Amino acid sequence: MTTDTAIDDSVRQFQDEGFLVARGLFSPAEIEELRGEFMAMHAAGPIPGHFEPRGRESEGPADPLHSYPRVMHPHRINDVALRYLLDARLRRILERLLGEEVLAAQSMFYFKPPGARGQALHQDNFYLRVEPGTCVAAWVACDEIDRANGGLEVVPGTHAMDLFCPEEADPELSFVREYVPPPPGLAAVPVDMAPGDVLFFNGSLVHGSRPNATADRFRRSFIGHYVGASTERIGHWYRCLSMRGDAVSLPESEGAGPCGTEFETGPH
């Protein structure tokens, strides 16, 4: 995805379906760097407010996500995460998708180890509460990602719809509470990805993932959320940066929260 014609075709797909995949946007060496950086972060232990593993909470089977929780806003504490969040290749595509300069609002890293629950179908802008408009995610695959290890599923067409009121998710399958069932006539479709592929999707697109059913495969991913420079308000959880790394202050919108309200205790 390097030519203007290829980007134009992808922009049309994004407008029609709410998502696109940029294949091989990052090199194997870059993905190895990302994986290595976050595995080292995991080995180093907790970082309050960003990465907080938990011990066993019950006599039952251990929850893999207690040992490998997601990392929230790593770009605020890690130079490698910041560099990838502000990468010029992401910026070029995002500017075409949003039609203006972009701001970086959030980063996350998911380890999703073997046996981990997924994240029920949801909409990102339910949490970010970008006004006006919506956000766009850039979801970087850091492993081979498929249905077996809990790859993403998207519901094409929902990007053109309003935010839905979520139902309660199944805690056996999802580590977060919110669940948005596909609207009548629409269905979730899987998006298989190779390391270095990037999935861009609209903040209103319903998407999620199933559990990692493998015994020995992680499904690691680095995610950035972005908004247009014309954004007027965003949730207080998010502090925006220009793609040059300068802080950009925006008024707060109401009803926002972190991406996914986690169950306090899981079934594991």
**CATH number of the domain enclosing 35:** 2.60.120.620
pLDDT (average), residues 126-135: 97
267 pLDDT more than 70: no
pLDDT in tens, 183-213: 999 999 999 999 999 999 999 999 999 999 9
Q: Report the percent of the chain where pLDDT is more than 90.
A: 87
266 within a domain of the structure (yes/no): no
- Asked whether residue 150 is assigned to any structural domain, the reply reads yes
Q: What is the pLDDT of residue 62?
A: 85
User: Is the distance from CB of 105 to CB of 76 less than 8 angstroms?
Assistant: no
| Tens digits of residue pLDDT in 35-71 | 999 999 999 999 999 999 987 555 557 899 999 999 9
51 in any annotated domain: no
Rounded CA-CA distance 166/246 in Å is 35
Range of the domain at 37: 4-45+62-248
Residue-level pLDDT at 59: 58
Residues contacting residue 145 through CB under 8 Å, at least 6 positions apart = 151, 152, 192, 193, 194, 219, 221
pLDDT in the model for residue 266: 43
Q: Is residue 57 part of a domain?
A: no
- Work out the number of other CB atoms within 10 angstroms of the CB of residue 231: 25
What is the average per-residue pLDDT within 143-157? 98
pLDDT for the residue 56: 59
CA-based Rg of the chain, rounded to a whole angstrom? 17
pLDDT of residue 260: 74
User: Can you give the pLDDT at residue 60?
Assistant: 59
What does the mean pLDDT of the chain come to?
94
Residue 91 lies in a domain: yes
Band the pLDDT of 1: cuts 50, 70, 90. very low
Determine, yes or no, domain membership for 76.
Answer: yes
Both structure tokens of 61: 């089977």
Average pLDDT, stretch 105-130?
98
pLDDT band at 259 (very low <50, low <70, confident <90, very high): confident
Q: How many domains does the chain have?
A: 1
| 103 within a domain of the structure (yes/no) | yes
User: Phi and psi for 10 in degrees, rounded to 5?
Assistant: -70, -35
CA 37 remoteness from chain centre: 18
Evaluate if residue 224 carries a pLDDT over 70.
Answer: yes
Residues 223-232 have a mean pLDDT of 98
Average the pLDDT over 161-168 and give the result.
96
